[in-house]
């Protein structure tokens, strides 16, 4: 019984294939794509700044935000969802198991502004995804791409 080994590619052909692939990626990026990314980044920066300023000027729902902040901080320290404000856990009043996603980020920067920035990033992500799929809904006067 003989085993046939697949032919190994030439070492010289690998950089050529990588260069061709990069060229293909660069040629597929359009100005409208770059503009969309720039607008989303601008949205994140502006919305983050506005929400942080609103929080610093006491214009946020402080009790709920404090519950989430304390719950994430305690989760990052090994005491899942614990709060000391009114209930034993934040899930008693706000069922939010997704808050555990932010716990590792609190190891890096344990600050409520992290949640406000994450909110801005999430809003940008959702708005970018609904902008392309929402354009296909009947009754909309525009489309993100020409009909096929």
Write out pLDDT tens, residues 35-75: 888 999 999 999 999 999 998 888 887 777 888 888 888 88
User: Which residues does 141 contact at the CB level (< 8 Å), separation at least 6?
Assistant: none
| Domain definitions of the chain by residue range | 34-129
Per-residue pLDDT band for 128 (boundaries 50, 70, 90) equals: confident
* Residue 115 φ then ψ, to 5°: -65, -40
Q: Are 72 and 115 in contact (CB under 8 A)?
A: yes
How many whole angstroms separate alpha carbon 108 and alpha carbon 26? Answer: 34
- How confident is the model over 111-133, as a mean pLDDT? 81
Residue 117's pLDDT band (cuts 50, 70, 90): very high
Residue 20 scores a pLDDT above 60: yes
- What is d(CA 13, CA 74) in angstroms, rounded to the nearest whole number? 53
CA 63, CA 83: separation in Å to the nearest integer? 11
SS3 of residue 100 by DSSP: helix
Whether 120 contacts 48, CB under 8 Å: yes
Q: Measuring CA to CA, how many Å separate 78 from each of 58, 94, 103, 142, 143?
A: 30, 19, 9, 49, 48
Report percent pLDDT > 90 for the chain.
14
Question: How would residue 138 be classed by pLDDT, with cut points 50, 70 and 90?
Answer: very low
User: Which tokens belong to 77?
Assistant: 């320290």
What SS3 class is residue 58?
Answer: coil
What is the pTM assigned to this prediction?
0.61
């Amino acid at each position: 019984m003989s085993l046939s080994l697949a032919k190994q590619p030439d070492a010289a052909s690998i950089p050529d294939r990588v260069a061709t692939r990069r060229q293909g990626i660069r040629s597929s990026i359009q100005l409208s794509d770059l503009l969309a990314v720039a607008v989303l980044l601008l949205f994140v920066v502006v919305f983050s700044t506005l929400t942080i300023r609103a929080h610093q000027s006491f214009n946020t729902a402080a009790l709920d935000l404090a519950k989430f902040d304390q719950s994430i901080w305690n989760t990052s320290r090994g005491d899942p969802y614990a709060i000391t404000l009114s209930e034993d856990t934040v899930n008693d009043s706000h069922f939010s198991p997704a808050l555990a996603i932010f716990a590792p980020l609190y190891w890096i920067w344990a600050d409520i502004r992290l949640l406000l920035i994450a909110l801005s990033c999430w809003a940008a992500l959702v708005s970018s995804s609904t902008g392309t799929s929402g354009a296909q809904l009947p009754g909309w006067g525009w489309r993100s791409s020409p009909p096929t």
